[in-house]
Structure 1
Amino acid sequence: MTKDEDLPIAKMSFEQAMAELDRVVHALESGDVPLEESIRLYERGAALRERCSRKLAEAEEKVRLITRDDSGRPDGLAPLDP
């Protein structure tokens, strides 16, 4: 068990969640995991993916707020891809 596996997903940084998601995907792709463990890993992977998605959305919103001019209009930067 890794240190990130002990950390609640809701407390993980984007980088921690991505690293843990990568480990989950590799474990599932290996095919060496029993069925019950595969189901647990799949559920964890789904929660990790959601955490990453949420953290990316938060970052995108922060960038949007930072890139506004003095009147609050977008400062000419293209929006980030969803």
Structure 2
Amino acid sequence: MDQADIENLTFEAALSELEQIVRNLEQGQAPLDESIELYQRGDKLKRHCEARLKAAQARIEQIALGPDGQPQGTKPFDAD
């Protein structure tokens, strides 16, 4: 799989593969070259997951309440 394949993964599929890579690296049984390839792929998967989360957060909206406590519309989500 290359970068284009990663970009087509759902968040859940990318996270699942990333978790498997972490388990494989933690076991420490892969040869050095394979470990490096796994690490590089894991880094790409991590970046993909972060981008998907950021995009999802940008789509989330909060309900804005007026002074009387009644909903008046929506506003962008502010994670702070």
Q: TM-score if structure 2 supplies the norm length?
A: 0.76
Unaligned runs of 5+ in 1: none
Identity percentage over the alignment? 36
Unaligned runs of 5+ in 2: 65-70
Q: For residue 71 of structure 1, report the CA deviation from its aligned partner.
A: 7.6
Partner of 1:30: 27
Q: For residue 72 of structure 1, report the CA deviation from its aligned partner.
A: 6.9
Size of the alignment, in residue pairs? 73
**Higher share in helix:** 1
Q: Deviation digits for residues 3-62 of structure 1, max 9, x if unmatched?
A: xx6981010000000000000000000000100000000000000000000000010001
Mapped pair 1:74 → 2:75 = yes
Distance 2:33 2:41 in 1: 12
If you compute each CA radius of gyration, which structure gives the higher value, 1 or 2? Answer: 2
Partner of 1:13: 10
Distance 2:26 2:56 in 1: 30
Q: For residue 68 of structure 1, report the CA deviation from its aligned partner.
A: 5.5
Q: One-letter code of the match for 2:57?
A: E
Q: For residue 74 of structure 1, report the CA deviation from its aligned partner.
A: 2.4
Partner of 2:44: 47
Q: TM-score if structure 1 supplies the norm length?
A: 0.74
